Amino acid sequence: MIIYHRPADLDHHLQHLRTSGQSMGFVPTMGALHEGHLSLIEVAQHENDLVVCSVFVNPTQFNDPSDFDKYPRELSTDAEKLVDIGCDLLFAPSEADIYPHKNHQSEVYDLGGLDERLEGAYRPGHFQGVAQVVSRFMDIVEPNSLYLGQKDYQQFRILHYLITQVQQRKAKVIACPIMREANGLAMSSRNVLLTDTEREAAVLLSECLRQTLQEAHQHTPPAIREAMEEKLLSEPLIRELDYFEIVNAETLEPVSRWSEADTILALVAAKFPSARLIDNTLVKENGQFRTSL
């Protein structure tokens, strides 16, 4: 695997490959790689001649400075994992490479209002920062396909809108399934920050999503939402429940009946003492109810 730090060096390397007609998949990450990230790379490898993974802890998407400071950074371990899995290229730029102008000012991206709810309501400016860094990476890498995790569903939905509809790039934007621990906890780089007891308590997020799937036939979305909020709030290690919502997967607007949309998603975000965690599941996909996470 080749590691590039400077955008110009990566671009130079990729120019040769582009002209030889090789298809390229791109997996952007913030590092501290786990099996969830690696599963994205595997899908990209399966569908492309060559895969580029980036590791960059993007300052402009952190609304909370302490979250940015304590975010795990493990570039050499990440590089080893990528070598083991056979990734072709790792792009690990510095902040100055990505944001040469010190104040990080950028244009305001049209995110179609999809950034106003859910994560957007609790993390002001987060999705503008995500749009900024991913736009910058898309300009540098120019992949044929961009691979994102459904773990960050709202991020996928927003980037799909931005890249395909607003910017009208040719790249495909592909969502990959959520990888979970055996107990159901969604894998996340932030899980390493949790204490053992928090980690056990955090399983409740996926349990509530699983219960939503089981009860979707008997109860309306608002009734399930209310029951799950109560269940989550009864866990003392959940210091704040930002939301448990059941939404139309396209518009991200809450639904009151299951017949309101063909694809419906349940999402949760909760603050534990050491980290804020998010999770979600598709409850209904193309008109069909799902039975398992």
Q: How many helices (H) and strands (E) does the chain have?
A: 10, 10
CA–CA dist 238, 214 (Å, integer): 23
CB-CB neighbours of 241 under 10 Å:
17
In one-letter notation, the amino acid at residue 17 is: L
Contact between 185 and 191 under an 8 Å Cβ cutoff? The reply is yes
Active site residues: 37
CA–CA dist 49, 39 (Å, integer): 17
User: Does residue 208 touch ligand AMP according to CB under 6 A?
Assistant: no
User: Does residue 189 touch ligand AMP according to CB under 6 A?
Assistant: yes
User: Does residue 187 touch ligand AMP according to CB under 6 A?
Assistant: yes
CB-nearer residue toward ligand AMP: 148 or 193 = 148
User: Does residue 40 touch ligand AMP according to CB under 6 A?
Assistant: yes
User: Does residue 178 touch ligand AMP according to CB under 6 A?
Assistant: yes
CB-nearer residue toward ligand AMP: 246 or 278 = 278
User: Does residue 186 touch ligand AMP according to CB under 6 A?
Assistant: yes
CB-nearer residue toward ligand AMP: 27 or 264 = 27
Instruction: Please report, to the nearest 10 degrees, the dihedral formed by the alpha carbons of residues 188, 199, 213, 268 taken in order.
Output: -60
User: Does residue 29 touch ligand AMP according to CB under 6 A?
Assistant: yes
CB-nearer residue toward ligand AMP: 184 or 220 = 184
Q: Closest separation between CB of residue 229 and ligand AMP, Å? A: 24
CA–CA dist 149, 37 (Å, integer): 8
Q: Closest separation between CB of residue 236 and ligand AMP, Å? A: 25
220 phi and psi angles, rounded to 5 deg: -75, 160
* Residues at the contact surface with ligand AMP, assessed by CB under 6 A: 29-30, 36-37, 39-40, 148-149, 151-152, 176, 178-179, 186-189
